[in-house]
Amino acid sequence: MTARDLIPIAVLTVLAALLPLVVTSSPVLNFLVFMLIVALGAQGWNILGGFGGQFSFGHAAFFGTGAYVTAILQLRFGVNAWAGLVLATLAGAAVGWAIGFLSFRSGLRGSYFALVTLAFAEVFRILANAASVTGGAAGLLIKLDVHPANLQFGDRAVFYWLVLALVAAVLLLTRWIQRSRFGAQLVAVRENEDAAKALGVNSLTVKLRAIALSGGVTALSGCLYAQYFLYVDANIAYGSWISVELLLAPIIGGVGTVFGPVVGALTLHGLGEVAKQFAGRIPGIDLIVFGGVLVLAVAFARGGILGLLERVRDRGRGMMARGPKEVSHADR
């Protein structure tokens, strides 16, 4: 990685980190925390779906595992919340590897893979709803005990910084993947798996690595969700809402780009929240905006918002150079 790869990430992180010093409003911070948690999970999806081209409809399986593992460890075994964070991430990676092993080894691709992940998430949801270790349908309530050692902070800004730091870390990880040999192999598998195999890429290993990383990152976001709202039940953890949420953000922001998931999560939720501020008396206005953004992005911004920005930039460059050739040669 070169300095040019790192500077945008560093600048954005520092700017975002300064935000709580300017904005002290709790609703805004609370919203930003939730948005960043979604962005983090979406980054996880993006590693597998964006770079690897394996579209999962069931990332709830990892999100929920993260949430439940930390909650169960704390409640049933008295494990510290910080340790829970690490163990939950590892558990997510393990579940990712296991699901990947079962489905990739059977050669499931495309819509078949998507359906299988959806099925896994549903199976987990039903199991979590019935098992006693997960509290059954009553869910699990992490005890409210505000202390930094318990990963609960009196000031929302601290949690915000924590999530932001993790989002930044995953931005770096994604950038590294993009620049590394592993990333190149992953993209090769995405573009043409058979061609990649012919070139000597072990596609199974590459995909397994990607799904384990992806599962780990998404589990981390689930763990943070549980730790922030202090409550998990089967529908929150393994419900289809989160699977959809996690795949929409990268699709809107830009699939297979480093910043796509974060931009997507910010756009979808940010616009909805702004609409709610201005038209708060109309219930559901934020959901209407959410839907509107989705339709516009899918219709006009193929490649997501980042893809659109790039096209606009290329067109601008093309106009400056007054040569149509420039546009078609613009490097991507």
Partner 1 sequence: MGRSVQDTGFSRRTVLKAGAAAAAVTALPFAAPSVLRAQTAVVKVGILQPVTGALAHDGDLGRAGAEMAINEINAAGGIKSLGGAKLEMVFGDARSTPEAGTQEVERMQAEGVAAIVGGFASPICLAASQAAARYDLPYLVDVGVSDQIMARGLTNTFRFSPGFGKVTQVALDNLTAINDKAGKPAKTVVLVHEDGLFGSGLAKLLQTELPKRGFEILETIAHPTPARDMSNVALRIRSLNPDLVIPSNYYGEFVLLARTMQQQRIKPKGIYAILGGAASNGRFVKEFPQAAQNVIDCNHWHDPKNPKALALRKAVEGQGKSFAYNVSLNYSNVLLLADAIERAGSTDRKKIIEALNASTFAGHIMPYGPTKFVNGQNEGATPINTQIQGEDIKVVYPDAFAEAKANFPAA
- Residues lying near partner 1 in the complex (CB under 8 A): 25-27, 30-31, 34, 126, 129-130, 136-139, 141, 143-144, 146, 154, 229-231, 233-236, 241, 281, 283-284, 287, 320
Taking the least distance from each CB to partner 1, the nearer of 20 and 53 is 20
In whole angstroms, the minimum distance from the beta carbon of 230 to partner 1 comes to 6
Task: Assign residue 109 a region (left: φ > 0; alpha: ψ between -120 and 50; beta: otherwise).
Answer: beta
Taking the least distance from each CB to partner 1, the nearer of 21 and 320 is 320
Contacts 24+ apart (CB under 8 A), 190-193: 190/51, 190/52, 190/53, 190/54, 190/256, 191/53, 193/109
Helix and strand counts by DSSP (H, E) for the chain? 15, 2
In whole angstroms, the minimum distance from the beta carbon of 269 to partner 1 comes to 10
Taking the least distance from each CB to partner 1, the nearer of 96 and 135 is 135
Q: How many CB atoms lie within 10 A of CB 118?
A: 18
In whole angstroms, the minimum distance from the beta carbon of 224 to partner 1 comes to 12
Location of structure tokens 């959809």? 244
- Provide DSSP, 42-54: HHHHHIIIIIS--
In whole angstroms, the minimum distance from the beta carbon of 164 to partner 1 comes to 18
In whole angstroms, the minimum distance from the beta carbon of 25 to partner 1 comes to 6
Give 147's strand partners.
Answer: 152
Taking the least distance from each CB to partner 1, the nearer of 179 and 313 is 313
Taking the least distance from each CB to partner 1, the nearer of 157 and 236 is 236
DSSP state, residue 136: G
